[in-house]
């Protein structure tokens, strides 16, 4: 039947939601490693969205976003299909870390995966073949690990590629206000899926341990903006009139070891020479003042307010433009 939504053996009839698990690997004792999946098949036909969370095993915000969005989607009113993989990096998640402890790989360097590859490559392969390739749009939910970072969305396709425009437009529609438009490393889903002609973005929802409610709400609004704009659900997306786009980062390095006292806040639009942080000794004396080397946005900072010499104190988004 044409209208059946299917990911391997998982199925949802038109107008139905299916929650279940996709067995993607085996643990050492033979216990199946499973990815929780949601398939929502709209009563009316339309495009397909693939939503993925926790391909880095310690990035929980994406799971919270996906659950809230999916809970509010009514299959009877949905035009199209939504496929969600909720905890993609099974092994890393169970170890409370970003990388898989089985093969030491970062899942977001493994797409489109390999059938006979390492553990992470095999999981990536199964999801790419089973779910990604039948989709029209992809959203791969991430965050900046546990480091404090602004809420932003990333476009990882080379700007010379034809699909870049559609990816940047998807990022604009997500509407979080800050976009990194910079070709990503090999193996990112946000690069591999566009190779198949599927516009893809990688929202980075802050950085924290556990859940961050404000980042999660921005993520929910972003995914719902996409659903509204591309006709999955009714309603008007809430998209800022002017969004910041940067094309890369500057890493601000300390020349001294000590304690950081930040003068700038995340999201600050810095001019060349603006103070970002002082490095101080244990007695409170200022050893060094670190300043923005050029106009930039204060994008991420350290989890702990201490550094050694030669250690980063934060990243700054560079070459600011607006869309």
CA distance 140 to 228: 18
**Minimum distance from residue 206 beta carbon to Zn ion (Å):** 12
Residue positions counted in the chain: 323
The stretch among 38-46, 49-57, 213-221, 234-242 that binds Zn ion (CB under 5 A) is 49-57
Residue number with CB closer to Zn ion (59 or 181): 59
Question: What count of other Cβ atoms lies within 10 Å of the Cβ of residue 204?
Answer: 27
Of 266 and 306, the one with the shorter C-beta distance to Zn ion is: 266
175 Cβ contact list (under 8 Å, min separation 6): 221, 222, 225, 237, 238, 239, 240, 243
Residue 154 or 229 having the CB closest to Zn ion: 154
Q: Measure CA of the first residue to CA of the last residue in the chain; give whole Å.
A: 43
> Which span sits near Zn ion by CB under 5 A: 6-14, 55-63, 236-244, 305-313?
55-63
In this complex, which beta carbon is closest to Zn ion, that of residue 120 or of residue 254? 120
- For position 106 contacting Zn ion by CB under 5 A, the verdict is no
Sequence-distant (≥ 6) Cβ neighbours of residue 48 within 8 angstroms: 5, 80, 81, 82, 83, 134, 135, 136, 137
Nearest approach, Cβ of residue 128 and Zn ion (Å)? 17
Site for Zn ion in 116-145 (CB under 5 A): 142
When asked if residue 56 is in the footprint of Zn ion (CB under 5 A), the reply is yes
In the complex, minimum distance from the CB of residue 108 to Zn ion, in angstroms, rounded to a whole number: 6
Residue 199 structure tokens: 């516009």
Residue pair 109/188 in contact (Cβ under 8 Å)? The answer is yes
Q: How far is the CB of 98 from Zn ion (least distance, A)?
A: 7
Contact 111, 128 (CB under 8 A): yes
224 binds Zn ion (CB under 5 A): no
CB of 53 to Zn ion, least distance (A): 10
Interface with Zn ion (CB under 5 A): 56, 59, 142
């Amino acid at each position: 039947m044409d209208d059946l939504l299917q990911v391997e053996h998982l199925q949802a009839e038109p107008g139905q939601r299916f929650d279940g698990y996709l067995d993607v690997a085996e643990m050492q004792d033979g216990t199946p490693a499973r990815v929780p999946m949601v398939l929502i098949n709209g009563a009316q036909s339309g495009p397909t969205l693939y939503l993925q969370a926790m391909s880095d095993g310690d990035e929980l915000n994406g799971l919270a976003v996906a659950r809230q969005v999916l809970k509010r989607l009514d299959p009877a009113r949905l035009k199209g299909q939504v496929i969600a993989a909720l905890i993609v990096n099974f092994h890393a998640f169970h170890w409370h870390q970003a990388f898989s402890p089985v093969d030491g790989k970062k899942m977001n360097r493994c797409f489109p995966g390999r059938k006979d590859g390492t553990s992470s490559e095999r999981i990536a392969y199964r999801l790419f073949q089973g779910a990604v390739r039948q989709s029209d749009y992809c959203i791969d939910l991430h965050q900046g690990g546990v480091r404090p970072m602004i809420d932003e969305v990333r476009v990882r396709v080379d700007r010379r590629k034809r699909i870049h425009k559609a990816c940047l437009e998807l990022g604009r529609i997500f509407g979080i206000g800050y976009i990194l438009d910079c070709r990503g490393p090999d193996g990112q889903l946000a690069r591999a899926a566009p190779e198949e002609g599927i516009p893809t973005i990688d929202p980075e929802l802050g950085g924290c341990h556990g859940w961050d409610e404000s980042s999660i709400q921005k993520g929910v609004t972003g995914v719902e903006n996409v659903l509204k704009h591309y006709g999955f659900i009714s309603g008007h997306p809430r998209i800022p009139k002017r969004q910041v786009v940067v094309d890369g980062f500057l890493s601000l390095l300390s020349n001294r070891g000590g304690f950081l006292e930040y003068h700038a806040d995340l999201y600050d639009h810095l001019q060349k020479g603006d103070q970002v942080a002082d490095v101080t000794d244990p007695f409170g004396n200022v050893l060094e003042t670190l300043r923005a080397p050029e106009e930039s946005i204060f994008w991420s900072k350290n989890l702990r307010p201490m550094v050694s010499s030669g250690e980063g104190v934060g990243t700054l988004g560079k070459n600011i433009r607006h869309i």
